[in-house]
Every structure is written in C-alpha cells, then in structure tokens.
DNA sequence: GAGTGGTCTAGACCACTCG
DNA sequence: GAGTGGTCTAGACCACTCG
C-alpha cells in the first residue's frame, strides 16, 4: 500500500487506527496486539514501517512492547503530569515583569554553599515582580552562580525565563530542572510587594537548575499570590505526535 | 561496524556520543549536526541506523530536526516539568490510606453538572485520609461518574490511585488527566482531620480525568497539610531512554 | 539543481519467551 | 524449536530548503 497518494504516512495511519481502537475500548487494557508481521500483512506494508507506528504508540504510553512476547495495550500514564512553566501561569505571555534588583554578592561562601554552588563564593541575585494586568501576582528571586566574563543583559534579566537565563550566563550546559512546589506564609515585605493581606499564604515554586553531574547552576524561588496564581498540569504530551 | 560484539546497539552509542558532546559544550546550542549521511560514514553504519540514534536525541529534547535543513542542537526543555503523582508525595509508597466514606449520591443533577458529568445524575464519592507514619498528611475526596454494573471493590477504594480507580469503574477509557495546583485555607473539619491549626493554609491538588472527547469521568481533590506535603517535579524524562 | 531529512522496502541475523 | 520483537543493511523515491 504505497499510500503517498494522500500525504499522511502509512505508519502514522496505522498508529491512529490502533489508537482509536484503544480509546473506543475495542482493544482493552492488557490485550495483545497482532504481531508486527501480522500488522504488516494486514496493512500491506513492511515490518520496519509497522515498527515505526508501534513506536509512536509506545511513546504515547498506549502500549508496552515486550521483547519475545509482543505489544500489550496499557493505560496511558495519567499519573505523569507535565507542567509547562511557560504556559501555566508562570512565564505566561500575559505576564509583565518589573525588575526590582540585581546584585553581585561577592565572597559569601555561606550563601554559595547553601545554594549548592561548590567551589564558588560569588552569587548573582535577581529579583523581579510579575504582574497580570495591573495586579502583582508573584515575586521571583533568582540566584545564579557567578560566571566571569558572561555579563547579563538587561533584556535578559527582564524577559528571559529562568532556564534560559541560566543558559546565557553559564559556560556549563544546563541539563536538569528539579522543582518543588509548596505552601508558605508571606513575609511582611512580600505581602507589601504583592499588595496582599499579611496573613495570606502563598504558593512557592522552587526551581534548581543543574549541569551534568548534579552541579547546581542556579536557584529560582517564586512566591505566588494564592488568589492570583495557580499551576496547571496535564498528562497529555505537549509534543505529542499522535 | 557490526558491533553486536558488545550488546549495546550502535544507534544508542551514536546517540550517547552526541549527547556527551552537547553536555560538555563541544556542540553548542543552535549548532548543526553532521548530516545523516556523514554520521553514517563516520560510524560506518547505514542511514536508517543513524536515524534511530537521531530520533533518540530528538525525544530527549537535545536536538531539533528540520526537514530539508538538518538537525540542530537545542537546549533541553527545562520548562517542561514532569510530576509523577506516584512518586512525589502523592500516592507515595510510604503513604498509608484510611477510607473515611463511600457514598452513592443519586439524582443530584446539580452536583453532576458541576462536575461536568453530562447525561448523568448519580455520583459516587469516596473520601480517604492519607497518612505518613502516624501523621495525617492529606484528605482526598473523589467524585466518580456512576456506572451501573461496575461495583468498586474495597481494595480498590483503599489502594488504587485515582486514574486506576476511574479506569476500573468506567466503561469509557480514561485518556487525559488535567490537574490544577493551588492554595486554600483549611475548613474547620478539614483541619480537625489533618490535626492542624485551623488557620493553616493547604496545598490543593485537583485532578480531572477525561475520556475521549473531553468527557469528565472523575474528579479528585486533595487537600494537603502544608508542612507535611510538597510536590516534586523534574525536567528529566522518567522514561528517558538516553 | 544539489543537498537535506522523511518514508518505505525486502531482506538478514539476533536474543528472548514459551511450551 | 517456533514465534516474537530488536537491530541493521543497502537500496529507493519523495518533499523540502537554499542559492
């Protein structure tokens, strides 16, 4: 079936077909798919092409393939949620930024080691206020390993998201972002900045960016106004090709 | 290079090689990789095998491939974080569960429509208390579309995670989980259950499980004690094959 | 028109699983 | 030993990009 006629690749159509069957409940959780050879036969395509479709389904979490046995229908991984910090409240396009302060703190081993910056005693701090419309929604404080000869541009300070900022200021390549989400009470000064009652709690998002080998390159702490900010996450793959 | 000698597939070694070069900064952000033909030449392997390696790198977010142009080094997507609800505080293995109540609420169109359960007026509610050791850490309340002839087993009610529970009780196949994370004050009864001061705020995790076509099948609301619970997320692919 | 990645084929050998 | 998926090849034609 050389279906170049209609531009949609055959392996993709095979994957879609099977996806439909799974979502319609025709192929149930745990059930075994036909073998690759059988699917090739059925669709009139070669085995490598079948495998391309199967790979797509596996990537989407719809099947598990076990060598020597076959491909089994499985429930999608609904417990694995994706937060896109660029589109879920944080770093939203609707947000405006106001730069509060930038400091280079030299020779403060205590601070550097608290942040996990080994072999380092100078730290850059950047503080911004995030607005949605006229309302302040979050305070963001960033701590960067100081890197000689890599000055930060004003535009970066104001507009770059955190991983991007770290990338620009570092020789080392950032490879991982570990984040913790928790709740804390606002400090008086934070409450003032956020124009909130002092008693209000806040959503706290703490990001740590690492280079290869678990070396922290930067730490970001966002203090978010509880009524003006929430985090959205979804199980649906953002880069989903199916 | 038929390197079956050492069990590690050639395409995998190619991908690892390039990954190392990217993480070491030898291949910088935006740089163009050699063409597939050149890589095939260099490693002495066929183009399809090169493509297998390239696909792995693309999946890990280390390169972007553009048809007709080539493959470009790109920063990994550090803004896309994965929360694994099974290993990040929620549904943790260390957690114990106490079933508080199970109810079938019949003929309550208002509740059903609030939950988004269309064409439906009966709702099952399940309330559990989660413990870490002897300490209550969260209250979990679930609302399920009632499905005739699909009784819930006691063991499921106590141990199943939410997507699993929905899957067991529904004919429809769950395909998506949309979650919102926010902050709210504890109600007096909730504070009592969590053995907390009434004034305490709480982390709120609201999950909605959908079938195909944006039909909600179930809603779960977790009210988490702020000092005993935090959510962890990471950019590192959990199913990372590289 | 030359170069690139995207799709696809028809074969091959392998390691693994299962009865 | 029969069946399965995993790896790999050496070819082909295509659509796209760029000068």
Q: Report CA-CA distances (Å) from B43 to A148, A150, B28, B46.
A: 38, 36, 21, 9
CA distance B208 to B171: 17
What DSSP designation does B33 have? Answer: P
Query: Residue B46 CB closer than 7 angstroms to strand C?
Result: no
Q: Classify burial at B47, counting beta carbons within 10 Å of its beta carbon; exposed 0-12, middle 13-18, buried 19 or more.
A: middle
Closest-approach nucleotide to residue B69, Cα vs C1': C4
Residue with minimal CA–C1' distance to C7 is A9
Q: Report CA-CA distances (Å) from A28 to A39, A53, A62, A234.
A: 18, 19, 11, 23
Q: Quick: pLDDT tens for B17-67.
A: 999 999 999 999 999 999 999 999 999 999 999 999 999 999 999 999 999
Query: Residue A71 CB closer than 7 angstroms to strand D?
Result: yes
Could you tell me the CATH number of the domain that includes residue B15?
Answer: 1.10.10.10
Does residue B182 sit in the same domain as residue B134? Answer: yes
Q: Quick: pLDDT tens for A49-108.
A: 999 999 999 999 999 999 999 999 999 999 999 999 987 665 666 788 899 999 999 999
Does residue B115 sit in the same domain as residue B189? Answer: yes
Does residue A116 sit in the same domain as residue A203? Answer: yes
- The conformational region for residue A163 under phi > 0 = left, psi -120 to 50 = alpha, else beta, is alpha
User: Angle A10-23/A36-43 helices, nearest 10 degrees?
Assistant: 110
Q: Quick: pLDDT tens for B80-120.
A: 999 999 876 656 667 888 999 999 999 999 999 999 998 88
* Residue B90 forms part of a structural domain: no
DSSP string, A18-71: HHHHHHTTSS-TTPBPPPHHHHHHHHT--HHHHHHHHHHHHHTTSEEEETTTEE
Does residue B122 sit in the same domain as residue B215? Answer: yes
**Which range of residues forms the domain containing residue B197?**
95-225
CB contact under 8 A, B23 and A233: no
What per-residue confidence (pLDDT) applies to A51?
98
Q: Quick: pLDDT tens for B147-171.
A: 988 888 888 888 889 999 999 999 9
* Residue B87 forms part of a structural domain: no
Does residue A105 sit in the same domain as residue A194? Answer: yes
Query: Residue A37 CB closer than 7 angstroms to strand D?
Result: yes
* Residue A237 forms part of a structural domain: no
Q: Quick: pLDDT tens for B114-149.
A: 999 988 889 999 999 999 888 999 999 999 999 988
Q: Report CA-CA distances (Å) from B119 to B42, B112, B139, B165.
A: 62, 9, 29, 21
Query: Residue A213 CB closer than 7 angstroms to strand C?
Result: no
Does residue A127 sit in the same domain as residue A203? Answer: yes
What per-residue confidence (pLDDT) applies to B90?
59
CA distance A27 to B40: 39
CB contact under 8 A, B182 and A231: yes
Closest-approach nucleotide to residue A54, Cα vs C1': D5
Using the structure, give the distance in angstroms from the CA atom of B48 to the C1' atom of D10, rounded to a whole number.
10
Q: Quick: pLDDT tens for A142-178.
A: 999 999 888 888 888 888 899 999 999 999 999 999 9
Using the structure, give the distance in angstroms from the CA atom of B71 to the C1' atom of D17, rounded to a whole number.
13
In which element (H, E) is residue B56 found?
A: helix B47-59
B85 chain-A contacts, CB cut-off 8 A: 79-81
Does residue A48 sit in the same domain as residue A141? Answer: no
Could you tell me the CATH number of the domain that includes residue B170?
Answer: 3.40.1410.10
CA distance B71 to B59: 13
DSSP-derived 3-state class of residue A201: strand
CA distance B53 to B11: 4
Does residue A109 sit in the same domain as residue A220? Answer: yes
CA distance A223 to A239: 29
- Count: domains in chain B: 2
B42 CB neighbour count, 10 Å cutoff: 12
Does residue B161 sit in the same domain as residue B48? Answer: no
What per-residue confidence (pLDDT) applies to B93?
63
* Residue A56 forms part of a structural domain: yes
pLDDT above 70 as % of chain B: 95
Considering only CB atoms, A167 lies closest to which of B75, B174, B182, namely B75
Contact B160, B138 (CB under 8 A): no
């Amino acid at each position: 079936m050389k279906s170049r006629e209609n531009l949609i690749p055959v392996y993709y159509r095979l994957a879609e077909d099977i996806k439909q069957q799974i979502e319609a409940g025709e192929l149930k959780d745990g059930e075994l798919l036909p073998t690759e050879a059988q699917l090739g036969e059925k669709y009139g395509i070669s085995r490598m092409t079948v495998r391309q479709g199967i790979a797509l389904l596996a990537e989407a979490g719809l099947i598990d393939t076990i060598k020597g046995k076959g491909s089994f229908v499985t429930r999608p991984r609904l417990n694995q949620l994706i937060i896109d910090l660029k589109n879920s409240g944080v770093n939203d396009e609707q947000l405006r930024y106001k730069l509060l302060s930038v400091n280079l703190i030299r020779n403060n081993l205590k601070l550097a080691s608290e942040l996990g910056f080994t072999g380092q005693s100078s730290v850059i701090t950047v503080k911004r206020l995030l607005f949605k419309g006229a309302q302040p929604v979050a305070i963001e404080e960033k701590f960067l390993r100081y890197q000689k000869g890599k000055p930060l541009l004003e535009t970066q300070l104001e507009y770059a998201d955190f991983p991007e900022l770290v990338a620009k200021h570092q020789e080392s390549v950032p490879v991982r972002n570990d984040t913790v989400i928790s709740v804390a009470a606002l400090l008086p000064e934070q409450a003032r900045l956020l124009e909130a009652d002092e008693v209000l709690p806040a959503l706290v998002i703490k990001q740590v960016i690492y280079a290869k080998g678990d070396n922290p390159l930067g730490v970001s702490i966002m203090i978010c106004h509880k009524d003006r900010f929430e985090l959205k996450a979804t199980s649906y793959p953002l880069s989903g090709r199916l």
